[in-house]
Structure 1
Amino acid sequence: MMEFFVTLIVTAISMIVTAYIIPGIVISSTSAALIGAFIFGIVNAIVKPILILFTLPATILSLGLFLFVVNALCFWIVAYFTPGFEVKGFFDALFGSILVSIVSGFLSQFLDK
């Protein structure tokens, strides 16, 4: 259970860092980041596998690069369902999803030690 809360906090921090770096992403409060991190986990667990399944031909044809688009769509879905979290365009969602993954991975490695 403690690992869940640590992952939630790490994801919220990485969303705040992403909103600070990318001007097209706005997070109004820390609670919005925490709610967004929770919804991000739900979307990644339920919606993302379904999207990957439906877009499998495009993913195969693009040699896996279409997964960046799937990640951006998931990030955009999180922003849609989270009050206080706004993504202004597709490329903001694309770069935001990449940056959240990088920062989360870095913070997770830092906390594992």
Structure 2
Amino acid sequence: MTYFQRLIINMLTFISLSVLLPQMVHVQSIMMALLASFVLSILNALIKPILTIISFPLTLLTLGFFSFVINALMLQFTSSFVGAHNFGFSSFGAALLVAIIMSIVNMIVTEHHMEKYRTS
């Protein structure tokens, strides 16, 4: 899957979650969702590997569940960079829920994409 496709999937996930969970997730516009998706991808490339290495013992101790906390932190950082009035969460718990949902959505889309190429 290309980088642009992942950006679009994350953008659509942000928009969908802001409609489904309006008390938890705020997205000002489609362009802000696209910007948030782009900023998240940059943060995931630059900061997430460092946090993953630092928190490896805790991630191992929690059998991988701490990775959702790291993803929620990345979403909170994204909200800080984009601006909370444009893209934000009502609490860290909301960011954690969005991180879990985004992980599931990305897993399903990636599996579907891989299955499409395995059968052809």
Shared fold per TM-score greater than 0.5? yes
The one-letter amino acid of 1:48's match is K
Tell me the matched-pair count. Answer: 112
Q: How does 1:64-83 map to 2 (within 5 A)?
A: 64-83=64-83
> TM-score, normalized by length of structure 1?
0.85
Q: How does 1:1-113 map to 2 (within 5 A)?
A: 3-22=2-21, 23-83=23-83, 84-108=86-110, 113=116
Cα 1:57–1:78 shift into 2, 3 Å: same
Counterpart contact for 1:79–1:86, Cα < 8 Å = yes
1:26-82: CA deviation from partner (whole Å, max 9, x where unpaired):
001000000000011111111111111111121122222211111111111111111
Cα offset, 1:100, TM superposition: 1.8
The one-letter amino acid of 1:40's match is L
Runs of 5+ consecutive residues of structure 2 not aligned to the other structure? none
Q: Which range moves more in the overlay, 84-93 or 97-106? A: 97-106
Cα 1:13–1:109 shift into 2, 3 Å: farther
Cα 1:65–1:4 shift into 2, 3 Å: closer
How large is the Cα RMSD of the aligned pairs?
2.0
Distance 2:63 2:113 in 1: 33
> TM-score, normalized by length of structure 2?
0.81
Distance 1:65 1:107 in 2: 21
Runs of 5+ consecutive residues of structure 1 not aligned to the other structure? none
The one-letter amino acid of 1:10's match is I
Cα 1:59–1:106 shift into 2, 3 Å: closer
- Choose 1 or 2 for highest CA Rg: 2
SS in 2 for 1:20: helix
